[in-house]
C-alpha cells in the first residue's frame, strides 16, 4: 500500500526535516526584499541627487524616516505578534513593506518619499522580529543557530544585490524609477514567500500541534533597573558601532563616485544579465561594489567569527579590536586619496568581529528571563543612532562640500566605541570575566 504524505512517515510530513527546510527557504525570503529596498536608495544616491535635485541631507533623511518608524514599531511589534500570531503579523508587516516601497517608487515629491520610507520602516523592522519568532517556532531545539545564519545570509544578499545592480538598472533603463520598481518586485517576492510559509505553517500547526513562540525582543520596563554596567556598555558600543557603519554606507556610493570618480557601473558590453555578472565580478572597481565589500565580508566570514568566539571567548577583547581598526578605516578614506577598497576591507573585518562578539554577549550578562527586554531595548536605542547619523552625514556633506567632516565624525564614533569596549572589559572583569571565557555560562 502506498504511504500517504499526511502520515508521519511521509516524505513531506511536517515532522520531517525536508518540510522544515522548505519552510526555512520561504521564511528567509521574508527579509530579502526589505533589505534590497532599504539599501537601493544608497545604491543609486548619485543619480537621485542629479535627477531629483535632492541634497545629501535629504537622502540622509530617507534613512532617518525609516529608523524613526522603526524606533516606535519595534516597541509594539512584539506585542502585536503575540496577540495575533506570526502568520497574520508577518503578512501585515510584509504588506507595510510593500506599500512603503511602492510609495517610494511612485512618489512625485520629496515629502511622499519620506512617507513611503516611514511606512516601509514601520513594516520592515517588526518583520525581522516576526521572522525570529517563526524560526523559533520551527527550529527551537533543532537547527536554530543554522536557521538564523541562513536567514541573515539571504537577507544580506538583498543588500549585496542592491549595491551591485542599482546603478546598473538605472543606467540600462534610463531612470532611477526602474531601480525603485525592482525594489517593489523584490518586496512582492517576499510576500509570495510569506504566503507559502502561511500555507505550510497552517498545515504543520495542525499536524504537529504547534504553538506560537512568544516573541523575545520585547521591553519589560521593570527589568531595566536590574541591568548591570556591562549591558549599558555593550548597548552604547552597539549604537556607536552601527552608527558608523550603516549611515556611512547610506551615502558611501556617492562618496566614492564623488571623491575618487569611481565608475557607477562596470564598463562591459553585452546583455543586461552579462552586465550584472560583470558588476559582481568587478566588485572593487564600481562605487556600489566597493560599498558592498563590508557586506560581502560579513556574509563569508561571520560564521567563522562566531565559531572563533565560541572557541576562544575574548568577546570584550574582540570588540576592542574591532572598534580600534574602525578608526583608521574611516580616517584613511576621509583625509587621504588611498583607494577606498583597501580601508573598506579593514572596515569589513571590524563588521565581522564586533557583531560576532557583541550580540552573543547579551545572554551572558543578563539573566535568562530578561534577555528579551535586553535585546529589545538595545535594538530600540540602536535605531536612535541609525536615525540621527544619516541626516548628519548628508548635512555635513552639503555644508562643507566634501565628505571629510563626515568621515571624521564616523571615525570619532569608532573612538567612542573603543572607549565603551575598554570600559566593558574592565566592568566584565569586576563581574567575573564571563565575556572573556570560552563558552561562558549564561547568567
Report whether 42 contacts 251 (CB < 8 A). Answer: yes
- Residue 64 reports pLDDT greater than 50: yes
Q: How far apart are CA 185 and CA 78, in angstroms?
A: 27
HEC letters along 213-267: CCCCCCCCHHHHCCCCHHHHHHHHHHHHHHHCCHHHHHHHHHHHHHHHCCCCCCC
Distance CA 308, CA 310 (A): 5
- At 21-61, the pLDDT tens digits run 899 999 999 999 999 999 999 999 999 999 888 899 999 99
Q: Indicate the Cα dihedral angle 76, 77, 83, 87, nearest 10°.
A: 170
Assigned CATH topology for domain 14-218: Growth Hormone; Chain: A; (1.20.1250)
Which of the four pLDDT bands, split at 50, 70 and 90, describes residue 179?
very high
Contact yes or no for 90/144 (Cβ under 8 A): no
pTM, full prediction: 0.87
- Domain residue spans in the chain? 14-218, 219-443
* Residue 370, pLDDT score: 76
Higher pLDDT, 334 or 299: 334
User: Greatest CA separation found in the chain?
Assistant: 78
Nearest to 230 by CA among 370, 425, 373: 425
Q: pLDDT of 1-14, one tens digit each? A: 344 444 455 666 77
* Mean pLDDT of the 183-197 span: 95
* pLDDT value of position 8: 57
H-run or E-run covering 198: helix 176-208
Which are the contacts of 209, defined by CB distance < 8 A and separation ≥ 6? none
Confidence of residue 212 (pLDDT cuts 50, 70, 90): low
The CA distance from 65 to 376, in Å, is 20
Mean pLDDT of 185-192: 95
Are the CB atoms for 125 and 383 separated by under 8 Å?
A: yes
Are 32 and 196 contacting, i.e. CB atoms less than 8 angstroms apart?
Answer: no
Average pLDDT over residues 134-160: 81
* Domain 219-443 in this protein, CATH class: mainly alpha
Residue given cell 557603519 in the structure block? 245
Q: Which residues contact 332 (CB under 8 A, 6 or more apart)?
A: 338, 342, 343
Alpha carbon distance 190, 31 (integer Å): 7
Q: Is the pLDDT of residue 103 over 90?
A: yes
Would you state the cell numbers that stand for residue 191, as one nine-digit string?
Answer: 510576500
Q: With cut-offs at 50, 70 and 90, classify the pLDDT of residue 134.
A: confident
Query: What contacts 419, CB < 8 A, 6 or more positions away?
Result: none
Please report which confidence band the pLDDT of residue 441 belongs to, taking 50, 70 and 90 as the band edges.
very low
Shortest CA distance to 376 belongs to which of 120, 140, 207, 128?
128
pLDDT digits 0-9 by tens, 336-375: 999 999 999 999 999 988 988 888 888 888 887 777 778 8
Position 440 scores a pLDDT of 46
What gap in Å lies between CA 216 and CA 229, rounded to an integer?
Answer: 22
CATH topology match: 14-218 vs 219-443:
yes
For residue 3, the model assigns a pLDDT of 41
pLDDT, the chain, mean: 87
Amino acid at each position: 500500500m502506498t504511504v500517504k504524505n499526511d502520515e508521519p512517515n511521509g516524505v513531506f510530513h511536517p515532522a520531517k526535516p525536508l518540510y522544515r527546510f522548505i519552510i526555512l527557504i520561504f521564511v528567509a525570503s521574508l527579509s530579502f526584499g526589505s533589505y534590497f529596498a532599504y539599501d537601493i536608495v544608497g545604491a543609486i544616491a548619485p543619480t537621485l541627487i542629479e535627477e531629483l535635485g535632492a541634497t545629501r541631507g535629504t537622502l540622509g533623511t530617507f534613512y532617518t524616516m525609516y529608523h524613526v518608524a522603526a524606533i516606535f514599531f519595534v516597541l509594539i511589534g512584539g506585542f502585536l505578534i503575540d496577540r495575533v500570531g506570526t502568520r497574520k503579523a508577518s503578512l501585515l508587516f510584509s504588506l507595510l513593506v510593500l506599500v512603503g516601497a511602492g510609495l517610494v517608487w511612485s512618489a512625485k515629491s520629496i515629502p511622499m518619499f519620506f512617507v513611503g520610507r516611514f511606512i516601509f520602516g514601520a513594516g520592515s523592522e517588526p518583520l525581522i522580529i516576526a521572522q525570529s519568532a517563526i524560526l523559533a517556532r520551527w527550529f527551537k531545539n533543532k537547527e536554530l543557530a543554522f536557521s538564523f545564519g541562513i536567514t541573515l545570509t539571504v537577507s544580506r544578499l538583498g543588500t549585496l544585490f542592491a549595491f551591485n545592480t542599482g546603478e546598473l538598472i538605472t543606467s540600462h533603463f534610463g531612470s532611477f524609477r526602474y531601480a525603485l520598481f525592482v525594489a517593489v518586485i523584490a518586496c512582492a517576492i517576499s510576500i509570495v514567500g510569506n504566503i507559502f510559509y502561511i500555507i505550510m505553517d497552517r498545515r504543520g500547526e495542525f499536524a504537529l500541534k504547534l504553538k506560537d513562540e512568544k516573541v523575545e525582543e520585547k521591553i519589560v520596563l521593570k527589568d531595566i533597573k536590574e541591568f548591570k554596567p556591562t549591558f549599558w556598555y555593550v548597548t552604547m558600543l552597539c549604537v556607536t558601532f552601527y552608527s558608523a557603519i550603516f549611515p556611512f554606507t547610506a551615502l558611501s556610493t556617492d562618496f566614492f563616485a564623488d571623491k575618487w570618480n569611481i565608475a557607477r557601473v562596470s564598463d562591459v558590453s553585452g546583455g543586461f544579465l552579462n552586465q550584472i555578472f560583470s558588476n559582481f565580478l568587478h566588485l572593487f572597481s564600481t562605487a556600489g561594489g566597493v560599498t558592498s565589500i563590508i557586506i560581502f565580508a560579513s556574509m563569508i566570514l561571520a560564521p567563522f567569527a562566531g565559531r572563533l568566539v565560541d572557541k576562544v571567548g575574548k568577546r570584550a577583547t574582540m570588540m576592542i579590536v574591532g572598534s580600534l581598526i574602525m578608526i583608521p578605516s574611516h580616517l584613511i578614506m576621509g583625509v587621504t586619496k588611498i583607494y577606498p577598497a583597501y580601508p573598506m576591507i579593514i572596515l569589513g573585518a571590524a563588521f565581522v568581529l564586533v557583531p560576532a562578539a557583541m550580540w552573543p554577549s547579551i545572554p551572558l550578562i543578563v539573566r535568562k528571563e530578561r534577555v528579551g527586554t535586553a535585546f529589545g531595548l538595545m535594538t530600540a536605542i540602536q535605531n536612535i543612532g541609525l536615525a540621527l547619523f544619516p541626516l548628519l552625514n548628508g548635512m555635513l556633506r552639503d555644508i562643507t562640500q566634501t565628505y571629510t567632516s563626515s568621515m571624521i565624525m564616523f571615525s570619532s564614533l569608532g573612538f567612542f566605541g573603543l572607549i565603551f569596549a575598554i570600559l566593558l572589559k574592565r566592568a566584565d572583569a569586576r563581574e567575573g570575566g564571563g565575556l572573556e571565557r570560552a563558552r561562558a555560562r549564561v547568567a
